[in-house]
């Protein structure tokens, strides 16, 4: 069957975008740009070890090159079938396995789809990137509805990757979508995607584009991975900073960092996620400023709490820190720091309170 000129051009655009990933990976840059323009971005050097964000590995050429052919200067590199997707902080790839279900020329398999997050409880009921990911993962046939929840004017990377994936989801199922726009956005986001759910979405976007490149006129019915697959996010307490000596007293302020968040980080500091230290509830210090939610990857947050004074505590004691998000995601860091006795309040030891109250009544008085 003859393939139309438009389909061939679409295939070349996809090849070019995927080749951008190869060039970025082989270009020698080890850093990562999380902001700035779409050009010149560099690929993250790794994943989330030690509490970092879920990075995204770029597609790599099977022969290590990004050669150009005669097709108007467009790269002729094609991804190999064995090529994996980007890793995410939960371990493994961002997409589930392939199942049969393709239609049209070159059908017979279909791109893997999103693995569960796990699903965010969405305690503030607002549409956010974490919950839109969940909607796409659970129901790829409803990707048009999910696309309607993405803010049309948002330039945030986590929203841009979901917007592109929702469009690719529609296009590969023959329900609209714009392959050229999706391909351009995939290239523009190369090296800029962080966070476990966003990285998983970007990896699946690459899978869909590779499928379209191999089967430019095929349509498929997408489906969640059989069995659900493992979660892409590994919610955990990364660190508790109490200072260099590893000790803290009640009413002192300490800093907690969490990563692998599968829900909107703006939900964490509120009452839906109680923090306990040594079994006692801990709260934000009085007058504490709101965390800078945009300063870290979407699945990571650093915030402060005031150390409580556990009732009946015998000091010193080893303090365990626990966070319970909406009674669904409980994470614990045992032996996070040493909780020591609070400072004593009152007169100095050895000084009677009456000794500083008033002059002795037997003291002589003088008459002018």
pLDDT at 341: 97
Residues 40 and 155 in one domain: yes
Residues 178 and 262 in one domain: no
Instruction: Count H helices and E strands in the chain, helices first.
Output: 6, 10
pLDDT at 329: 80
Residues 189 and 85 in one domain: yes
Residues 185 and 264 in one domain: no
Residues 242 and 200 in one domain: no
Is residue 56 a contact partner of residue 161, using CB atoms and an 8 Å limit?
no
pLDDT at 326: 85
> Is 86 inside a domain boundary?
yes
230 burial (CB, 10 Å; 0-12 / 13-18 / 19+) is middle
103 burial (CB, 10 Å; 0-12 / 13-18 / 19+) is middle
Domain boundary among 220, 244, 265: 220
> Is 270 inside a domain boundary?
yes
Residues 31 and 159 in one domain: yes
Q: Is the overall model pTM greater than 0.85, yes or no? A: no
> Is 354 inside a domain boundary?
no
Residues 180 and 264 in one domain: no
Q: What is the DSSP letter of 247?
A: E
Residues 36 and 165 in one domain: yes
Residues 278 and 174 in one domain: no
- Total number of domains constituting the chain: 2
325 burial (CB, 10 Å; 0-12 / 13-18 / 19+) is buried
> Is 132 inside a domain boundary?
yes
Is residue 162 a contact partner of residue 185, using CB atoms and an 8 Å limit?
no
pLDDT at 270: 67
Residue 208 CB partners (closer than 8 Å, separation 6+): 111, 165, 168, 169, 172
> Both ends of the chain: CA-CA distance in Å?
124
Q: Which residue has the tokens 């893997």?
A: 112
Residues 15 and 52 in one domain: yes
Residues 211 and 244 in one domain: no
Which among 59, 48, 76 has a CA at the least distance from the CA of 22? 59
pLDDT means per 10 residues in the chain (368 residues)?
A: 45 48 39 33 28 37 32 32 42 51 52 94 92 97 96 95 98 95 98 98 98 96 87 97 96 97 88 90 90 94 96 97 89 98 59 38 47
β partners of residue 241: 255
> Is 43 inside a domain boundary?
yes
Residues 161 and 259 in one domain: no
pLDDT at 159: 98
Residue 364 CB partners (closer than 8 Å, separation 6+): none
Query: What Rg, from alpha-carbon coordinates, does the chain have?
Result: 28
> Helix 196-214 crosses helix 129-138 at what angle (to 10 degrees)?
40
> Is 367 inside a domain boundary?
no
Angstrom distance (rounded) from CA 215 to CA 211: 6
Angstrom distance (rounded) from CA 140 to CA 129: 16
Structural domain containing residue 192: 5-220
**CATH code for position 328:** 2.60.40
């Amino acid at each position: 069957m003859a393939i139309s000129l438009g389909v061939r051009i679409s295939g070349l655009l996809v090849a070019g975008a995927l080749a951008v990933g190869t060039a970025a990976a082989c270009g020698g840059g080890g850093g990562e740009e999380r902001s700035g323009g779409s050009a010149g971005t560099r690929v993250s050097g790794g994943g989330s070890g030690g509490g970092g964000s879920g990075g995204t590995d770029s597609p790599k050429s099977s022969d290590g090159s990004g050669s150009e052919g005669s097709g108007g200067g467009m790269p002729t590199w094609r991804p190999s079938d064995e090529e994996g997707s980007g890793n995410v902080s939960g371990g493994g790839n961002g997409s589930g396995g392939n199942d049969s279900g393709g239609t049209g020329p070159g059908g017979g398999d279909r791109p893997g789809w999103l693995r569960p997050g796990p699903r965010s409880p969405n305690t503030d009921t607002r549409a956010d990137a974490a919950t839109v990911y969940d909607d796409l993962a659970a129901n790829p046939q409803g990707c048009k509805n999910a696309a309607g929840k993405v803010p049309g004017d948002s330039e945030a990377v986590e929203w841009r990757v979901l917007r592109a994936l929702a469009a690719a989801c529609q296009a590969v199922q023959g329900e609209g979508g714009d392959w050229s726009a999706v391909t351009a956005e995939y290239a523009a986001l190369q090296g800029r995607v962080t966070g476990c759910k966003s990285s998983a979405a970007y990896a699946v976007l690459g899978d869909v584009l590779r499928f379209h490149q191999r089967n430019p006129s095929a349509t498929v019915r997408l489906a969640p991975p059989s069995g659900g697959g493992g979660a892409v996010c590994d919610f955990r307490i990364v660190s508790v900073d109490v200072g260099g000596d590893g000790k803290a007293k009640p009413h002192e302020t300490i800093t907690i960092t969490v990563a692998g968040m599968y829900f909107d980080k703006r939900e964490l500091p509120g009452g839906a996620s109680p923090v306990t230290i040594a079994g006692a509830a801990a709260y934000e210090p009085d007058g504490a400023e709101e965390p800078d939610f945009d300063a870290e990857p979407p699945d990571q947050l650093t915030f402060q709490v005031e150390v409580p004074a556990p009732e009946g505590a015998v000091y010193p004691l080893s303090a365990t820190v626990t966070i319970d998000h909406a009674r669904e995601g409980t994470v614990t860091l045992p032996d996070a720091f040493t909780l020591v006795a609070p400072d004593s309040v009152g007169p100095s030891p050895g000084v009677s309170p009456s000794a500083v109250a008033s002059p002795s009544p037997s003291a002589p008085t003088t008459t002018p």
